[in-house]
Amino acid sequence: MSERLHYASGGPRVPAPAMHTFAAAAFAAVGVPDDDAAFVAQTLVHADLRGVHSHGLRLMPGYLDQLADGVIEAAPTIQNLSTAPGAAALAGDRSLGQIGARAGMRAAIDIARQRGAGAASVADTGHFGAAAFWALQAADAGLIGMATSNMAGPCMLAHGSREPASGNTPLAWAFPSGDPYPTVLDMAAGAYALGKLHLAATVSDTLPAGAAADADGAPTTSAAQLAYVLPAGGPKGYGVGLAHDLIAGVLSGDGATLTKGPYDPAAGPRGSLFFMAIDVEAFLPLRDFHAAMRRQTDAVNALPPAEGVTRVQMPGQPEWDAYRTNTAHGIAYPPGVLESLTPAAARLDLPTPWRP
């Protein structure tokens, strides 16, 4: 598939610091320690700044509900159960996914600095937001980073199946480039992220062909009939997604998405995470790697664009363009996102920065 999915984001722009303050206060109000609350808010606003609203603050009401229901622990105790020198196996203690992910990627980076490469799994945690954020933690530290996850609740069909066989598994790789905007690939194994399809459905009754299936597993372009995601590239997307589903779920001890079964609000997300970090300096000087990345980016950007395309880009460049715009002028949210935050603001007696 080559069609880019679009959804409206033309509402009034809201300064990112104001949205961060609001979100941090919301998490703190339900018992998340202040530092952790500010960090989780940072990860969600970061996604919104990059224009990835499917994984931004629209997720916060669900997280707050999980905290209120007690299926996510506001102040978890995360432990490393592994004694292996090159890996960490963390027990997440039903943490918010961002808190489990922070511990996992930190462990992978620490190991990589000592041994050249490090890997970490995190079991029994929540949804970790945008995978790019975690891979970028490594890239910002001068390392190559990789992140993936799974959760309960299969939502992507296998090639040839009528019922979902896995999650719409996310995977991200980030490469340090010597500037504030590293090359970062963040993708789902499905044709599109399910959240992006839901956002697109707010502005159009029609979805791209090859993206979605109805409740009977039949391909559909009707937004009203959206039930499942189709794998990108048929068997290739399913295979890539399943491989990452397995390394996040089975290696952590939690299991693959299909064997976890449907999402049960009473049990929570049952998220499983996997991270890897590679120390560039174990292979070549970091400055040489940066120079090669700049040459690669320049070469790609110089390629002659196809009809209707302004510039050929590296992975992550469109999102960094949005990041710069939204940082300078405020975040413009898609329809319904800010409205979805209003009930939580009222319940927690918090001011809403989008309503002066």
Per residue in 98-152, pLDDT tens?
Answer: 999 999 999 999 999 999 999 999 999 999 999 999 999 999 999 999 999 999 9
Please check whether residue 124 lies inside any domain of the structure.
Answer: yes
Element of type H or E holding 40: helix 34-49
Shared domain for 186 and 196, answered yes or no, is: no
- Residue 19: which residues within 8 A CB-CB, separation 6 or more? 45, 48, 57, 331, 353
Element of type H or E holding 289: helix 286-301
Shared domain for 208 and 347, answered yes or no, is: no
What is the value of pTM for the model shown? 0.95
Please check whether residue 307 lies inside any domain of the structure.
Answer: no
CA distances (Å), origin 265, targets 61, 62, 72, 228: 14, 10, 11, 19
- Residue 153: which residues within 8 A CB-CB, separation 6 or more? 167, 257, 260, 262, 263, 269
Last residue within a domain, chosen from 277, 301, 325: 301
Query: What does the pLDDT read at residue 7?
Result: 64
Please check whether residue 308 lies inside any domain of the structure.
Answer: no
Shared domain for 101 and 203, answered yes or no, is: no
Please check whether residue 311 lies inside any domain of the structure.
Answer: no
Please check whether residue 309 lies inside any domain of the structure.
Answer: no
Shared domain for 89 and 163, answered yes or no, is: yes
Shared domain for 238 and 333, answered yes or no, is: no
Span 141-198, pLDDT tens digits = 999 999 999 999 999 999 999 999 999 999 999 999 998 999 999 999 999 988 888 8
Query: In CATH, what number is assigned to the domain containing residue 220?
Result: 3.30.60
Please check whether residue 310 lies inside any domain of the structure.
Answer: no
For residue 53 the two structure tokens come to 């609203």
CB-CB contact of 203 with 337 (8 Å): no
CB-CB contact of 237 with 190 (8 Å): yes
Q: Please report, for the chain, how many H helices and E strands are present, in that order.
A: 11, 14
Integer Cα distance of 201 and 228 in angstroms: 14
Query: What does the pLDDT read at residue 4?
Result: 62
Q: Report the chain's terminal Cα–Cα distance, integer Å.
A: 42
Shared domain for 245 and 269, answered yes or no, is: yes
Integer Cα distance of 148 and 239 in angstroms: 14
Instruction: Please give the residue range of the domain that contains residue 205.
Output: 191-230
Beta bridge partners of 273: 122, 149
Q: What angle separates helix 337-347 from helix 60-69, to the nearest 10 degrees?
A: 30
Shared domain for 42 and 151, answered yes or no, is: no
Please check whether residue 306 lies inside any domain of the structure.
Answer: no
Per-residue pLDDT 10s for the chain (356 aa) are 445 666 666 678 999 999 999 999 999 999 999 999 999 999 999 999 999 999 999 999 999 999 999 999 999 999 999 989 999 999 999 999 999 999 999 999 999 999 999 999 999 999 999 999 999 999 999 999 999 999 999 999 999 999 999 999 999 999 999 989 999 999 999 999 888 888 888 778 899 999 999 999 999 999 999 999 999 999 999 999 999 999 999 999 999 999 999 999 999 999 999 999 999 999 999 999 999 999 999 999 999 999 999 999 999 999 999 999 999 999 999 989 999 999 999 999 999 999 86
Q: How many structural domains are present in the chain? A: 3
The residue among 277, 254, 23 whose CA lies nearest residue 125 is 254
Query: What does the pLDDT read at residue 8?
Result: 63
Strand order in the sheet with 87-95: 79-80, 87-95, 117-125, 271-279, 143-150, 170-175, 183-188
Shared domain for 255 and 295, answered yes or no, is: yes
Shared domain for 120 and 7, answered yes or no, is: no
Query: What does the pLDDT read at residue 284?
Result: 97
Shared domain for 127 and 205, answered yes or no, is: no
Shared domain for 45 and 181, answered yes or no, is: no
Beta bridge partners of 274: 121, 148
CB-CB contact of 223 with 206 (8 Å): yes
Query: In CATH, what number is assigned to the domain containing residue 284?
Result: 3.30.1370.60
Shared domain for 150 and 279, answered yes or no, is: yes
Query: In CATH, what number is assigned to the domain containing residue 47?
Result: 1.10.1530.10
Query: What does the pLDDT read at residue 1?
Result: 41
The residue among 136, 122, 118, 108 whose CA lies nearest residue 43 is 136
Q: How many CB atoms lie within 10 A of CB 300?
A: 15
